[in-house]
């Protein structure tokens, strides 16, 4: 089994990065969708510090960004927090579709030990499923 599936989904301090067994872990709010389509469509529309999406009145979900080294990262989403409509739209296929590239926000890039300006590119990223989580396996373009 992938060791990343053993992570506990737990709140992190706002804007803080945790180092867990060599992984850098950062919690953030995720708004799904396509940026140019006002967050409709597929992909990740916005990534914000925990609680920031509420101020914008956006429907968001907590996710853990996990990075070991290099350009590989994972986004872990708890199944419990995702309504059926979100699971059907974004997690029903064997891949997660990024319709548009998204620049990582400064707080997240810094917390994961990445340079500013790193991008999650367009593409199809594998989804690993467990009973409790969806784990998107993706990479960063520098």
Q: How far apart are CA 44 and CA 40, in angstroms?
A: 10
Q: How far apart are CA 105 and CA 93, in angstroms?
A: 27
Please choose, from the candidates 111, 139, 135, the residue with its C-alpha nearest in 3D space to the C-alpha of residue 48. Answer: 111
Please give, one letter per residue, the 3-state secondary structure of 63-101.
EEEEECCCCEEEEEEEHHHCCHHHHHHHCCCCEEEECCC
Q: How far apart are CA 142 and CA 101, in angstroms?
A: 12
Q: What is the DSSP letter of 122?
A: S
Domain boundaries, the chain: 19-139
Q: How far apart are CA 107 and CA 137, in angstroms?
A: 21
* Res 14: pLDDT: 38
Q: How far apart are CA 131 and CA 133, in angstroms?
A: 6
Contact yes or no for 76/133 (Cβ under 8 A): yes
* Res 8: pLDDT: 47
Q: How far apart are CA 73 and CA 58, in angstroms?
A: 25
Ranges under pLDDT 70 in the chain:
1-21, 54
* Res 18: pLDDT: 59
* Res 89: pLDDT: 96
* Res 17: pLDDT: 58
* Res 57: pLDDT: 73
* Res 51: pLDDT: 79
* Res 135: pLDDT: 95
Q: How far apart are CA 65 and CA 24, in angstroms?
A: 8
At residue 132, the 3 state secondary structure works out as coil
């Amino acid at each position: 089994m992938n060791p990343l599936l053993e992570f506990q989904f737990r709140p992190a301090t706002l804007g803080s990065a945790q180092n867990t067994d060599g992984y850098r872990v950062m919690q953030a709010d995720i708004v799904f969708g396509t940026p140019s389509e006002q967050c409709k469509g597929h992909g990740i529309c916005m990534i914000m510090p925990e609680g920031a999406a509420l101020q914008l009145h956006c429907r968001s979900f907590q996710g853990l960004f996990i990075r070991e080294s290099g350009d590989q990262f994972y986004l872990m989403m708890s199944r419990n927090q995702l309504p059926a409509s979100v699971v059907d739209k974004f997690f029903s296929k064997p891949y997660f579709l990024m319709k548009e590239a998204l620049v990582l926000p400064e707080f997240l890039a810094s917390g994961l030990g990445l340079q500013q300006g790193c991008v999650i590119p367009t593409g199809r990223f594998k989804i690993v499923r467990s009973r409790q989580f969806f784990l998107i396996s993706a990479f960063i373009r520098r």
